[in-house]
Structure 1
Amino acid sequence: MNKEHHIIIDEVVKLLRGGNAHIGLKDALEKLPADARGDKPAKLPYSIWQLVEHIRIAQWDMVQFCADQNHESPNWPDDYWPKETAPKDDAAWHDSLKQIDSDLEEFIELFKKEDIYKPLGHGSGQSILREALQIADHNAYHTSEIIVIRRLQGNWPL
């Protein structure tokens, strides 16, 4: 690998972990009161729990798409959004966050070892670089929604 290739990989990994121009998911959820997880402010379609679960499901799907040529994605949009506005308990909340972290690390390891430009053999032209940028973009978008909800709840900034 040449120097430029390493620079791209390093920068994309930074972006996946939270970027340089925006706050990451972990920081957006820091000190979130447990009772705020399921609160859905007026005129907004989702709670923080629903956004976190959506991030988990969508990211998992993208990781599995890259890792497993036989992966079948959930049905869009129904299977990507939880119906419940709040987690059933603290364990469900922590399990979701743990899976987001572990799936992201799995993807980063895959990203570092693959030809990032080569189309995936089982896709329709997608490369692992495209999927990395999509994960980063998707997670950043929904992380910003979490921050907006926290602002409306009155528990932001920290």
Structure 2
Amino acid sequence: MKEVPTLIKNLKELLNGGHAHATFEQAVKDLPTQLQGQVPEGMPYSIWQLAEHIRITQLDILEFSRNPDYESPKWPDGYWPAEHAPKNAAAWEESIAQIARDRQAFIDLLEAPEADLFTPFPHGSGQNLLREAMLIADHTSYHTGEIIVLRRLMGAWK
């Protein structure tokens, strides 16, 4: 199908973000350390919890897509960190870096010569690579918007 390379190009752009709104990396850039674990009044979580939720969920989708024996975390507790703040600056930086690495690993799946975007995986309940790519993009975009809202509530967004 001659349209597949264009579809993969568009999926990569969707996963990397930036066309219609801020990227995840822009949303967390230069976030003051003291705000990473702050939970604004009336909100259920911190930016750290949102970033970790994005990381955990994206990794779950990546592993599900490439490993038929993978077992997802228990919902919902396995997808959200209990702690409001990272242990230290290194934990914050590693979480942000892992999100980028796992996103690239998923893009590598899309770009693999044997990639089949449309055929359902032999495991699961009908999911395919195209659906999982859109799921990562949609999920990350949604929570990136929440990160920006929290930053605005804390006076830390341009």
Regarding TM over 0.5, the answer is: yes
3-state DSSP of counterpart to 1:119 = coil
Structure 1 residues 83-137: Cα deviation after superposition (integer angstroms, max 9, x where no partner): 1100010111111111111111000000122111111111211010000000000
With normalisation by structure 1, the TM-score equals 0.96
Structure 1 residues 35-66: Cα deviation after superposition (integer angstroms, max 9, x where no partner): 11001000100100000000000000000000
Residue 67 of structure 1: aligned partner: 66
Residue 146 of structure 2: aligned partner: 145
Separation in 1 of the partners of 2:15 and 2:31?
A: 22
With normalisation by structure 2, the TM-score equals 0.96
Moved over 2 A (4+): none
Residue 100 of structure 1: aligned partner: 99
Identical positions, percent: 51
Residue 38 of structure 2: aligned partner: 39
Question: Gapped runs of 5+ residues in structure 1?
Answer: none
Aligned residues: 156
CA shift, 1:141, in A, is: 0.2
Question: Gapped runs of 5+ residues in structure 2?
Answer: none
Separation in 1 of the partners of 2:127 and 2:9?
A: 20
1:125-144 paired onto structure 2 within 5 Å: 125-144=126-145
Residue 124 of structure 1: aligned partner: 125
3-state DSSP of counterpart to 1:73 = coil
CA shift, 1:148, in A, is: 0.1
